[in-house]
Amino acid sequence: MLSFSTLVRRAAALTTAATMVALAACSSDKAGSLPAAVLPANPAIPAQYRGAAFVFNVSATKKTVSVTAPTATIRNPIAAASLNLNAGPNYSLLGADVIDLSTSNFQASAVGAVLPGKVRITFDVTINNRLSGIRLITPTFPTPPAGVTGVQAFPFEISVTTTAGSVGQGSTTNEIVVTSPRFGAVVPSTNWDGNSHNFFNDAGCPSTATDCFRYESFGQIEPSSSSSTQQVGFDIEPTVGDFRVKVLLAADLENGTPPAPGSVSGTVTTPAGVSLAGATVNVSGGFSGTVGAGGAYTVASVTTGTKTVSVTNLPSYCVAPASQSVTVSSAAASTANFTVACTIPTGSIAGTVTSSLGGGIANVSITATPTGGSATAAVTTAATTGAFSITTPALVSGGVLTLTNVPSNCTNPGPTAYTGLTTTGLSGISIVLTCTPPPPEYPVSLTWGAITTGGPTGRQVELTVSWAAQTQQVVGLAGAIGVGANLAYASRTFTSSFDFGAANFTGSGTAGSSLSFAYGAVSPAFETGTFDVIKFKFNIAAGFSGSITPTLTLSEATRQGATPTNILSSTPVSTLPTLVIP
């Protein structure tokens, strides 16, 4: 590294030497002598610069690039604190005391894919500024191309290298590396963005020039920061296995306040029901942060420059998303959002819902809600057994089962906890509902008999009233039956122990005709089970044919007891039959 304070003497000497070389060339031309032949070799470089070069050892066979820092510098390495930056920029060919280089993304084309008969080797180069208080800017020396800014790099010497093998006895071996003079076998490719430029005498690049080089600009590099990554390359003959490139890097050094670090933040989005809390977000350069319960993260105190952001430490059933590149600016927040794809493992929860009275309960709806997750779709218990099976994410082993559509005579137990769920499933869940017996029902029904002859119209039909008393003793029934305009009341007959009653038929011959009735028992013989209460006989209107569906409305139903009980609410009317009259 060459500082301004010490370069004054050396720059003058170097400039004088370069000028003398240029003048000598000019005077030789004026004397009429022919210019020296331009041989297929590397251009001549002042000897004092050769030791300041970074050496790239490129292996086309191993597909590797190794970088060796300069073995010497233009001046002795100095600490950044000792630079006299108040006097202005320091001029420098950069050495390992100022920068280090990293390479990546080695690529080798097929023969002839880019140029006929050639293989193109490319790789990426990044320059890292090791100085915490120094900014690397456009060099004053060597002279950069017009309009080009920032750190300059140019390859000035290329040689083919081969390994002759090893010799020795026992465990002692020596590897012999031979440098070949076949310089034209490797040339810088157009991946070096800059065309040939004369960095040492500003005399342009005529056909006779011997110190013109392609170059790459890496821009201004802030203190303790990295340059943008640039691709460089070489076109080689297919026979070349390994080659060595010497590269000079030049920049001016100026005082610069280290940029305040920035941050990288964002969200990591996942499918519903998946938590990535505890996952790690990595930012190149050794920075990392942790994803919170809601998927948000922040990585603080990140140095400025281009950074690569990636997500790791994900569950085994999730796939890491592609990394992203962000630019971190001083004291600013950069954003990188990610979406993680996950194949959520599932398990099944199987069991039964039964009644305390015995037997399974059908048509109960059940959902499973894993702890911290969302409820599953509802399933319905099976008839007879009350069995159910729910498929649910097996991300956590426990949760609760919730029941709906529980029978009115049973008590809903509320959320029922489960635990031990794995991807192999969880079985044997038994939910027993406390149930009370349903109230008994006493349905009343009507039944038509066969059409018979008789009566004033020559045709008659009977309608039987039946009552299902089950195990209870019933003693009274009252209501009204509608039969329409084409039936006329004829008579009634008791068919049970009911031994008193009344019947009143109104509206005969009209659509609103109605037979009101009330019957009961006063004798000790009470009816139980299903029995016929009474039969009504009707005359069918002369000449009528068609269908008649009766109506039945109950107004009283009484069960025997010390105090007779009205059981009307438990006495539904069964489906009423239709009489077809031909």
The structure tokens listed for 180 are 């070949």
Look at residue 29 in the predicted model and tell me its pLDDT: 35
Average pLDDT over residues 104-129: 95
pLDDT for the residue numbered 438: 77
Reference 433, options 409, 450, 458, 451; nearest CA is 409
- With a pLDDT cut of 90, the percent of the chain lying above it is 56
178: confidence class by pLDDT, cuts 50, 70, 90: low
Task: Determine the pLDDT at residue 35.
Answer: 35
Is it the case that residue 189 has pLDDT exceeding 90? yes
Mean pLDDT confidence for 182-208 = 82
| Fold (topology level) of 444-581 | Immunoglobulin-like (2.60.40)
Higher pLDDT, 275 or 528: 275
Instruction: Please indicate whether residue 10 or residue 114 has the higher confidence score (pLDDT).
Output: 114
Q: pLDDT > 70: what percent of the chain?
A: 82
Measure the CA dihedral 275/277/281/286, to 10°. -160
Name the phi and psi angles at 13, rounded to 5. -65, -40
Which segments of 469-511 are extended strands (E)? Answer: 474-482, 487-494, 500-506
Instruction: List Cα–Cα distances, 123 to 64, 157, 214, in angstroms.
Output: 9, 18, 16
This prediction's pTM: 0.40
Q: What is the mean pLDDT of the chain?
A: 83
In whole angstroms, what is the distance from residue 539 CA to residue 320 CA? Answer: 88
Dihedral over Cα of 327, 333, 335, 336: its sign: positive
Query: Which is more confidently placed, 229 or 559?
Result: 229
Q: Which CATH architecture has domain 349-433?
A: Sandwich (2.60)
What the block records as the tokens of 282 is: 């990595």
The more confident residue out of 274 and 368 is: 368
Summarised one tens digit per residue, pLDDT across range 3-33 is: 333 332 333 333 333 332 232 333 333 333 3
Confirm if 323 and 282 have CB atoms less than 8 A apart.
Answer: no
For 29-43, letters b (16+ CB in 10 Å) and e give eeeeeeeeeeeeebe
Sequence ranges of the domains in the chain = 4-255, 262-342, 349-433, 444-581
What is the tens place of the pLDDT at every residue in 70-108? 875 544 334 444 454 444 455 578 888 889 999 999 999
Collapsing DSSP to helix, strand or coil, 264 comes out as strand
Tokens of 532: 């016929």
- Give the pLDDT mean for 155-180: 59
Region 399-408 average pLDDT: 95
CA 73-189-102 angle, to 5 degrees, is 45
| Fold entry, domain 262-342 | Immunoglobulin-like (2.60.40)
pLDDT in tens, 413-438: 999 999 999 888 999 999 999 999 87
Neighbours of 138 (CB within 10 A): 17
Q: Say whether 444-581 and 349-433 share the same fold.
A: yes
Average pLDDT estimate for 489-498: 86
